[in-house]
Amino acid sequence: MLIKLLPEDQKMHLLDLAKLLTLCDKPLLWNGLSKDELTSDTDLDALSIQQGERENELLSDLVQSVASRLWPMSNREASIENMLKEKLKASPLIKIDTVENRVQAAMAVLKTLLEEKCTDAPPFLKLFFSN
């Protein structure tokens, strides 16, 4: 795999991107209920993303193939999922599941991940990643 040729920090960012891509179009659930099944008793803060078993297996295989003992990947994966959920929660319920809103939320998380990468980069590289 070509991913093994990447520097360690770039491997982490590639795995972060893979996790974000596996989450961004999955169904949203509130206490296990879809948007159409919500009632007035449903806790809207209990947002979760229904993850696909196949995608999780593929991501796990990718992590195992490149991961080093330095990476707390389960914490990073949870962090990416939480960032995406927080961006989605900021949307009105009627728009939360629209394609446009999902793309905007995923782009906001991606921007955050890239900003983290830019803070680690040498100052002259920050010029290319700003804006």
Instruction: For residue 40, report the phi and psi dihedrals to the nearest 5 degrees.
Output: -70, -20
- In a 3-state reduction of DSSP, which class is residue 29? strand
Q: How many CB atoms lie within 10 A of CB 20?
A: 20
Cα–Cα dist 64/52, whole Å = 18
Percent of the chain with pLDDT over 70: 82
Kindly give the residue spans of alpha helices, DSSP state H, lying in the chain: 8-23, 53-66, 73-89, 99-120, 123-129
pLDDT digits (tens, 9 = 90+) for 88-116: 999 999 999 899 999 999 999 999 988 87
Cα–Cα dist 106/83, whole Å = 9
pLDDT at residue 121 tops 70: no
pLDDT digits (tens, 9 = 90+) for 74-92: 677 788 999 999 999 999 9
Q: Kindly state the average pLDDT of the residues 39-63.
A: 88
Show the tokens assigned to 2: 């070509």
* Predicted TM-score of the model (pTM): 0.78
With residue 48 as reference, give the H or E element that holds it.
Answer: strand 47-49
pLDDT at residue 65 tops 70: yes
The half-sphere exposure of 88 on its side-chain side, counting CA atoms within 13 A, is 28
Q: Kindly state the average pLDDT of the residues 49-75.
A: 76
